[in-house]
């Protein structure tokens, strides 16, 4: 054979190799397309398929006139994948730095640092997009990729850089580095126009509270992950949070979505808007008065509540101290007590305001009339076969004549209140206290409400029947006391304190309206009118709170100056709780106009004694003037008209009255 030709052996060997390759390839194709076909299709399908989340916007919280109290604003979390930044993009870094608000040197560093050592701790593992993120990208190599959006959104919650798996040299490629988490939509549009490859953003919703501290304890807040933590944000989360949407689609080899292959698409449903009964103007008035109280008296804490006594809806609920909803996470551990809603979460002995219970009960049961008299000079009295000591009167009070029921209320006689309760008896008096709402929750939806303390008669000692009527040995929350006074103002009904007025969808369509809720009738309408007249005498020149009077208007209410139980060290070194002579809770709870109540106001100030003349914070001196100032500011705003009646023509006063 000529040497110019390959031998037959070599030809056969080559042919065998080629044939083996074809046989192997054919076997592989048979394996992939026949034997392992389902697994292959599943892998291809997973590689091409993508699930894109369309996140819902959290609903707004509004006041009774539609003013925003809490809203969700969209911002862009901007980041960069340095692996895709091109050399020609470097010329755009100056403009990018200006738009982002970073030094150009920082932009250069972030965008050109492509790897980190494998040992670095600065890494974020991402598994799924958070609820706050929406799918939106800019010049991204992962355009339309749900995973990329998850990366950007997750990184928005941390300052660390997201890293990929180590390469052969042990370095981790940087796949995402945050540039800013506060880019507005307008700025984002300008950044888009730059066309910097590898820079992309994720739209997130951030909760914003336009009025900062206003109604903080009512509104509550959400944390950085948009999880509701407190207040109405937590209670009404079912309405506010909305439902995320999603779409299932396919992507090409460059991770671009192939919209024509969308198989399922579920649009997001934005959260409902919750309208509160809170009036931002009334709330501001209450908080302004609290600021004045804090400046003048420096109390331990204070609460002001303003309600509509005909419906039970809260117009304002303010606590001191308070906090800024937009900066809740900046409070130190020592300052976190500011977030406590003391109107419902703290209890106090109400003092003389509680006397409305014994007076209302005795009148309602027909045991007394406004002119029934009691000897309030007695030191002891026989009751149920036991001689009981009557409580001392308030400092400076001494009555040298029998007091009528009207005078007992007007002059806030402790001895008189005790005798009214004794007329009712232990069980009946206790039943009335329960009927007025004490010893049980009001059902107020926010703030961690407590029940207060009202012991059942079988747990009373021999002195309890003389102490509870004057507001000792019983505790209540400020809201419970407000609710109890509204029994008188509402015509005898215990109304449920409410805060939500309406629920509307994201298009403004009405979903649900809340109305007045009557828990029960406590006293008759006539008894309520009679007690209201008596409470007017408290605000007269002859009563304990003339400083609460508003010229030209009928005002009714009751003062309270309750001694606080404070720890005292005994001679043997042990500690016991004793009533303090220099620590008091001063209060005034009332309403006006008395004959047709339109506004009910509670002012409770805890431990303002140190900055009061004489070292005692009396309700008549500290709280009553605040009631008047709030009332005077509400009159023009709420268009409250005076309804002056002749007190002497009222049936309760036809045969006499306050001396």
pLDDT (tens digit per residue) in 188-222: 999 989 999 888 888 788 899 999 999 999 999 99
The DSSP letter of residue 581 is E
* Mean pLDDT of the residues in the chain: 86
Decide which of 125 and 22 is more confident: 22
Contact between 369 and 405 under an 8 Å Cβ cutoff? The reply is: yes
pLDDT at site 249: 63
pLDDT in tens, 464-486: 999 999 999 999 999 999 999 99
When pLDDT is averaged across residues 563-589 and rounded to a whole number, the result is 91
- Residue count of the chain: 659
Per-residue pLDDT, averaged over 494-517, amounts to 96
Predicted local distance difference test score (pLDDT) of residue 515: 96
The residue-averaged pLDDT of 242-248 equals 79
Between 1 and 643, the more confident residue is: 643
- pLDDT category at 356 given cuts 50, 70, 90 is very high
| pLDDT score, position 212 | 95
Q: Out of 53-62, 193-202, 431-440, give the one with best mean pLDDT.
A: 431-440
Mean pLDDT of 557-566: 94
Whether the per-residue pLDDT at 109 is higher than 50: the answer is yes
User: Per 3-state DSSP, what percentage of the chain is helix, strand, and coil (rounded to 5)?
Assistant: 40, 25, 40
- Answer whether residue 655 shows pLDDT above 50: no
Name the pLDDT band for 545 (thresholds 50, 70, 90): very high
Q: Which pLDDT does position 171 carry in this prediction?
A: 77
Q: Give the pLDDT confidence score for residue 202 in this predicted structure.
A: 81
Residue 28, pLDDT > 70, answer yes
Res 135: pLDDT: 37
Q: Which of 257-266, 271-280, 320-329, 513-522 has the lowest mean pLDDT?
A: 257-266
Select from 139, 150, 118 the least CA-distant residue to 51: 150
Contacts (Cβ under 8 Å, ≥6 apart) of 607: 299, 300, 301, 564, 583, 584, 585, 617
**pLDDT attached to residue 152:** 42
Under a CB-based contact definition with an 8 Å cutoff, are residues 620 and 547 in contact? yes
DSSP track, 366-425: TS--TT-EE-TT-SEEEETTEEEEPPPPPTT---SS-EEHHHHHHTT-HHHHHHHHHHH-
What pLDDT is recorded for position 8?
79
- pLDDT at position 285, please? 98
Domain ranges for the chain: 53-116+125-276, 280-324+342-653
Give CA–CA dist 311/582, Å, rounded: 38
More confident residue, 212 or 168: 212
Q: Could you tell me whether strands 273-276 and 61-62 are parallel, antiparallel, or unpaired per DSSP bridges?
A: parallel
Instruction: Give the pLDDT mean for 114-132.
Output: 51
Does 143 have pLDDT greater than 50? no
Task: Name the band, by pLDDT with cuts 50, 70 and 90, for residue 167.
Answer: low
- Using the structure block, give the residue that is written with the tokens 């926010």: 446
Query: Over pLDDT 90: what percentage of the chain?
Result: 63
Spell out the residues 6+ positions from residue 454 whose beta carbon is closer than 8 angstroms to its own. Answer: 430, 433, 434, 438, 439, 468, 474, 475
CA count, 13 A, side-chain hemisphere, 478: 31
Question: Is the model's pTM score more than 0.85?
Answer: no
Residue reference for tokens 């006041």: 63
pLDDT surpassing 90 at residue 160: no
d(C-alpha 394, C-alpha 90), whole Å: 82
pLDDT digits (tens, 9 = 90+) for 596-609: 999 999 999 999 99
Query: Does residue 12 have a pLDDT over 90?
Result: no
In this predicted structure, what is the pLDDT of residue 225? 82
Higher pLDDT, 613 or 66: 66
Structure tokens, 379? 């030191």
Tell me the per-residue pLDDT of 594-640, one tens digit each, with 9 for 90 and over: 999 999 999 999 999 999 988 999 999 999 999 999 999 999 999 99
What would the two tokens of residue 299 be?
């109390």
Given a cut of 90, is residue 238 above it in pLDDT? yes
pLDDT of residue 49: 61
Helix (H) or strand (E) holding 511: strand 510-513
Assigned fold of 53-116+125-276:
Penicillin-binding protein 2a (Domain 2) (3.90.1310)
pLDDT, residue 354, reads: 98
- At residue 384's C-alpha, the angle toward residues 381 and 388, to 5°, is 30
Which three-class secondary structure state does DSSP give residue 135? coil
Among 235-249, 255-269, 312-326, 379-393, name the one with the lowest average pLDDT: 255-269
**Res 503: pLDDT:** 97
Q: Domain spanning 280-324+342-653: which CATH class is it, in words?
A: alpha beta
């Amino acid at each position: 054979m000529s040497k110019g030709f390959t031998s037959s052996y070599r030809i056969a060997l080559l042919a065998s190799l080629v044939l083996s390759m074809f046989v192997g390839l054919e076997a592989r194709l048979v394996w992939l397309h026949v034997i392992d076909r389902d697994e292959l299709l599943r892998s291809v399908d997973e590689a091409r398929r993508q699930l894109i989340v369309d996140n819902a916007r959290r609903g707004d919280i509004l006041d009774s006139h539609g003013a925003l109290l809490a809203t969700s604003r969209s911002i862009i979390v901007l980041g960069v994948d340095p692996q895709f930044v091109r050399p020609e993009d470097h010329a755009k870094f100056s403009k990018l730095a200006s738009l982002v608000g970073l030094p150009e040197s920082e932009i250069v560093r972030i965008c050109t640092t492509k790897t980190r050592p494998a040992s670095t701790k600065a890494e974020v593992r991402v598994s799924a997009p958070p609820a706050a993120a929406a799918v939106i990208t800019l010049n991204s190599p992962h355009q339309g990729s749900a995973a990329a959006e998850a990366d950007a959104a997750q990184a928005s919650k941390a300052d660390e850089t997201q890293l990929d798996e180590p390469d052969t040299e042990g370095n981790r490629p940087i796949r995402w580095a945050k540039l800013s988490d506060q880019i507005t939509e307008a700025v984002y549009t300008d950044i888009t126009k730059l066309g910097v490859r590898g820079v992309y953003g994720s739209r997130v919703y951030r909760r914003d509270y336009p009025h900062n501290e206003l109604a903080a304890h009512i509104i509550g807040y959400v944390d950085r992950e948009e999880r509701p933590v407190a207040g109405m944000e937590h209670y009404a989360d079912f309405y506010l949070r909305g439902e995320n949407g999603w779409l299932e689609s396919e992507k090409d080899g460059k991770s671009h979505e192939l919209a024509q292959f969308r198989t399922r698409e579920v649009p997001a449903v934005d959260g409902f808007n919750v309208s509160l009964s809170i009036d931002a103007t009334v709330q501001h008035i209450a908080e302004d008065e609290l600021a004045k109280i804090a400046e003048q008296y420096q109390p331990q804490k204070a609460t002001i509540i303003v309600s509509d006594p005909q419906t039970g809806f809260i117009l304002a609920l303010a606590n001191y101290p308070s906090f800024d909803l937009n900066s809740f996470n900046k409070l130190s551990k020592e300052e976190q007590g500011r977030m406590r809603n003391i109107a419902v979460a703290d209890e106090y002995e109400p003092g003389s305001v509680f006397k409305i219970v014994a007076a209302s009960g005795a009148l309602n049961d027909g045991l007394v009339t406004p002119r029934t008299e009691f000897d309030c000079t007695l030191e002891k009295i026989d009751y149920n076969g036991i001689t009981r000591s009557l409580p001392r009167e308030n400092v400076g009070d001494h009555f040298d004549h029998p007091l009528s029921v009207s005078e007992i209320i007007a002059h806030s006689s402790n001895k008189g209140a005790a005798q009214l309760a004794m007329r009712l008896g232990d069980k009946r008096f206790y039943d009335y206290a329960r009927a007025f709402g004490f010893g049980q929750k009001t059902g107020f939806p926010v703030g961690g409400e407590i029940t207060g303390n009202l012991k059942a008669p079988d747990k009373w000692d021999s002195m309890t029947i003389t102490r509870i009527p004057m507001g000792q040995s019983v505790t209540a929350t400020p809201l419970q006391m407000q609710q109890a006074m509204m029994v008188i103002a509402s015509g005898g009904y215990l109304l449920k304190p409410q805060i939500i007025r309406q629920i509307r969808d994201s298009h403004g369509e009405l979903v649900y309206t809340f109305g007045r809720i009557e828990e029960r009738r406590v006293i008759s309408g006539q008894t309520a009118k009679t007690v209201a007249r008596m409470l007017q005498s408290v605000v007269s020149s002859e009563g304990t709170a003339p400083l609460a009077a508003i010229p030209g208007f009928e005002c009714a209410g009751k003062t309270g100056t309750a001694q606080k139980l404070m720890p005292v060290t005994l001679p043997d070194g042990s500690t016991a709780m004793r009533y303090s002579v220099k620590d008091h809770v001063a209060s005034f709870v009332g309403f006006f106009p008395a004959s047709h109540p339109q506004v009910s106001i509670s002012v409770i100030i805890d431990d303002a004694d140190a900055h009061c003349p004489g070292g005692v914070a009396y309700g008549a001196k500290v709280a009553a003037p605040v009631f008047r100032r709030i009332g005077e500011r509400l009159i023009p705003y709420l268009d409250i008209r005076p309804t002056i009646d002749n007190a002497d023509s009222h049936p309760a006063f036809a045969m006499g009255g306050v001396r």
